[in-house]
Amino acid sequence: MAVRDDVLEANRGYAEAFGQGDLPIPPARRFAVVTCMDARIDPAKALGLSEGDAHVIRNAGGLLTDDALRSLVISNSLLGTQEVLIVAHTGCGMLTFTNEDLHAKLAEERGADATEFDFQPFEDLETSVRACVRRVRESPLLPDDFDASGWIYEVETGRITAVED
């Protein structure tokens, strides 16, 4: 059975019991989360979220990329969120390579020239989280009172700890 068949079957069961179709578009708890795409993190479970509670924006590294900022601005300006939690995690794959490593791999395996592409790896979790929080706070696209905080999720324990400014 292909992955898509497994997913379709699981969705059938989910849809049969689904009762959240009348949730409003704005998130009930008026916040957003930017976190990594890592499959070991379930933001809803880790942060106590139910459907409709918060916007969850995911990408490799949980970075405040231009696209994550775009989503956050829409979340705030059109849907009323008032803060964001930036959540990185231990054991992040973004700590394990450099741009040069991935450029070389893509050239060798696919013949692709990705030298102009920044995959945005980083060397330190806390430094990365602080930079993302700072970008939120300094963005002219978000109001001055829009709150941002940084966190690290420990994949080994499931706990989150605050990253101090």
Three-class secondary structure of residue 73 per DSSP: helix
Q: What is the CATH number of the domain that holds 158?
A: 3.40.1050.10
Q: Containing domain of residue 47, as a range?
A: 3-163
List pLDDT tens digits, range 66-95: 999 999 999 999 999 999 999 999 999 999
Verdict on whether the full-model pTM lies above 0.85 = yes
How many Å apart are CA 41 and CA 46, to the nearest integer?
Answer: 7
Total tally of structural domains belonging to the chain: 1
List pLDDT tens digits, range 33-48: 999 999 999 999 999 9
Query: Is there a contact between 47 and 32 (Cβ–Cβ < 8 Å)?
Result: no
